[in-house]
Amino acid sequence: MLLDTERGALTRALEIAGDPVVPLGPNPRVGCVLLSPAGEVLAEGRHRGAGTAHAEAAALAAARSADISVVGATAVVTLEPCSHVGRTGPCADALISAGIARVVVARRDPNPVAAGGIERLRAAGIEVELGIDEDLAAAAAALNRGWEHGLQHARPLVTAKIALTLDGRAAAADGTSQWITGPAAREEVHLLRTTCDAVLVGTGTARTDHPTLTARRSDGTLHPRQPLRAVMGTGTAPSLPAVDGAGEELRLLTHDPSAALETLFERGVRHVLVEGGPVVTGAFLRAGLVDELIVHLAPTLLGAGRPAVEDLSIATLADRLDLDLVEVAPLPSSGGPTDLRITLRPRPRTA
């Protein structure tokens, strides 16, 4: 059974694991909090990226540096302690050697190479608590959903974001598109960018809109975590605007979404936000490579103009692309029309 002190420690472990200073990419984000037998916080640690100490090792090191004994303590971790030797030693062995008596684990490690830590701990006589609070377990899964998707599919998780009117327009007849949705939707997009390794647009968007593809706070300053800025397409496009502190720019010289994702995956990208125009968004949807679609829907009509998605190669209703509705939420409004955020998951097409 999960104690109240352990529930609080796990909430804290999730918080430090997701801190903006922690890089995204090919390694999971993990947090660890060490509790005394009385439930007092002794030390905490988090994994800071490839080649750095794992969360458990960082927490143990913090306790040692403060001359704090952890014998008989409880380790609360967001992901199963690893049992393999990589750039660092097995975290399960480190906990055993330190004299930890109990380990609370939010989520099993889905990586078969690293899994097995729970069994290793139990074999050493350490009590392990798994199958905890559902909300905290879901938060632990959400923390590394791009990383877990990469393990399962060997490609990045793809979130596509579009803004459109009630009649499905992404721009007016004269090409103007700024701004279809209101400030709250734009602020959400900046926050969404901080959760992704890369933001991808096509050459058309880069040429027409000159986007910076940065993640900014509500006050306009850059967020500590900036995504890779990727431009896809074989056509010519100007360089993205130079912004101090912005993510690296990458040109993907292909029209093939699969090839683009392969290149990004090789660079350590595990979650891509597709913010391209109708052509690029349509290409990813047509290829069946959109895992999540976020629609910012403005309560307005244009009657004409550019559609939000280009040709999907659908000639008859029977071939339509259906989507499952995940969430619908109104966005905050300061007196103007209230936009909606609609989150959807495309269904696999049946043969």
Q: How many residues can be counted in the chain?
A: 351
Distance, in Å, from the CA atom of 71 to the CA atom of 93, rounded to the nearest integer, reads 14
Residue by residue, DSSP assigns 233-277 as -SS--PPPPP-TTPPPEEEE--S-HHHHHHHHHHTT--EEEE---
Distance, in Å, from the CA atom of 39 to the CA atom of 56, rounded to the nearest integer, reads 17
* Residue list, annotated binding site for NADP(+): 163, 179, 205, 209, 234, 277-283
Among 69, 90, 65, CA closest to 80: 90
Cα angle value 252/258/262 (rounded, 5°): 65
* Residue list, annotated binding site for Zn(2+): 54, 82, 91
* Residue list, annotated binding site for substrate: 177, 193, 213, 216, 275
- Cα 110–chain centre separation: 16
Q: Judge whether 56 counts as a catalytic residue.
A: yes
Given 56, 148, 188, 292, the catalytic residue: 56
Residue by residue, DSSP assigns 53-117 as PPHHHHHHHHHHHTT---TT-EEEESSPPP-S-SSS--HHHHHHHHT--EEEESS----TTT--H
Q: Are strands 102-105 and 74-77 parallel, antiparallel or unpaired?
A: parallel
Among 322, 275, 323, 270, CA closest to 296: 275
Distance, in Å, from the CA atom of 254 to the CA atom of 262, rounded to the nearest integer, reads 11
Q: What is the SS3 assignment for 147-214?
A: HHHHHHHCCCEEEEEEEEECCCECCCCCCCCCCCCCHHHHHHHHHHHCCCCEEEEEHHHHHHHCCCCC
* Residue list, annotated binding site: 54, 82, 91, 163, 177, 179, 193, 205, 209, 213, 216, 234, 275, 277-283
Angle separating helix axes 4-17 and 134-143, nearest 10 degrees: 20
Active site residues: 56
